[in-house]
Amino acid sequence: MKQIDNKECWNWNEFSAAMDEHLSSHKHESKDLLQLVQECDEIVSRIVERPLSFAHERPQDFVTALLITRSFRLCISAIKISLSGYPEIAPNLTRTIWEIGLWLFLIQNDPISASLGFLLSGVEQEIEMMEYDLQERCSEKECLGNLPKNLQTWKDYRETLEDIIGKHGLSLEDLQKKYGRLSPWKVCKNLGLVRAYKISYAFMSGHVHERGFVNEVFLDESQAGVRKFVLSPVCSGCIEGVLDALNTLIANLCGAAAIIGESDLEEKCREIGDRISKFWFKTW
Ligand SMILES: [Zn+2]
């Protein structure tokens, strides 16, 4: 079989223009779907409009605002990349939104411990990474730059967190044991999400860890005797990529609304979720 790429090599401007063109080709069919972004933005605004601090009596509100902002940014990126003709990349981004959803479940079940546990496990992993880097740079006699100063800043932050954890009457060791380095499989099993783990999460992880799930998206063998490896935008599941990202975001918004105790917002999220399901039925 002949392997060809029958176009010239492109520069960045050409790739970028092809992506913009692909995006606008989806403008009409995705109009109603993209309308949901504004509704999601309105929900995010309601979630973040409250006193927010990890030192506050409700650290869960602060952590939820962080997690929802991150979910939203990931969703917007997934939508844009999918509609721009790189739809197979969207699950890499949506998987992180999904993982954030697990934290939101944990926070719903155990608001203060899980939210402080989230912050603690993050800062401990950063410190571990920086300490290893520092040790390696010292032994290789490399430039240390701002690393020692930055490491100290993170250590001070951990100390502040430890104080807050103590003030809530919680044990540091318990939080480390319960919320440090979580395995998505164990979390899903405990939360009764085995089916979601074995289907949705496995599907997205297959993209993240490159299992060849999407070879056919960019491998064009439609012409007899010719095999093309396509680098430019392709149209294969672009709308599905958007639906998955929005669906995962809305599930997180629903969890966030439950954490902050706004039942009308939770209801609104469910209603948007139902509308997304209707789009799915149209697609399939
Ligand atoms: Zn497309």
Tell me whether residue 104 is exposed, middle or buried, using C-beta atoms within 10 angstroms of its C-beta: 0 to 12, 13 to 18, 19 or more.
Answer: buried
Ligand 1 mean position, distance from CA 86 (Å)? 8
pLDDT of residue 3: 60
Torsion of CA 238, 239, 240, 245, to 10 degrees: 100
CB 83 within 8 A of CB 23: yes
Q: Is residue 144 part of a domain?
A: no
Q: Does some domain include residue 70?
A: yes
Whole-number Å distance, alpha carbon 14 to ligand 1 midpoint, is: 17
Q: Which H or E run includes 165?
A: helix 147-167
Question: Is residue 170 a part of any domain in this protein?
Answer: no
Residue 124 lies in a domain: no
Cβ density class 226-241: b for 16+ within 10 Å, e for less: eebeeeebbeebbbbb
Q: Which domain holds residue 52?
A: 2-109+184-283
Cα 102 to the center of its chain, rounded Å = 11
Do you know the residue count of the chain?
A: 284
Residue 77 is predicted with a pLDDT of: 98
Per the domain annotation, does 145 fall within a domain?
no
For residue 196, the CA-to-ligand 1 centroid distance in Å is 27
Q: Does residue 118 lie in a domain region?
A: no
In a domain, 252, yes or no: yes
pLDDT in tens, 70-101: 999 999 999 999 999 999 999 999 999 999 99
- The residue ranges of the chain whose pLDDT is under 50 are none
With respect to residue 117, please indicate whether it lies within any of the assigned structural domains. no
Number of domains in the chain: 1
Measured CA to CA, the distance from residue 258 to residue 265 in angstroms comes to 8
Residue 214 Cα to ligand 1 middle (Å): 15
Tell me what pLDDT residue 284 has. 56
Determine the distance separating the centroid of ligand 1 and the alpha carbon of 90, expressed in angstroms: 12
CA gap 185, 182 in Å, rounded: 9
Tell me, in angstroms, the distance from the centre of ligand 1 to residue 253's CA: 27
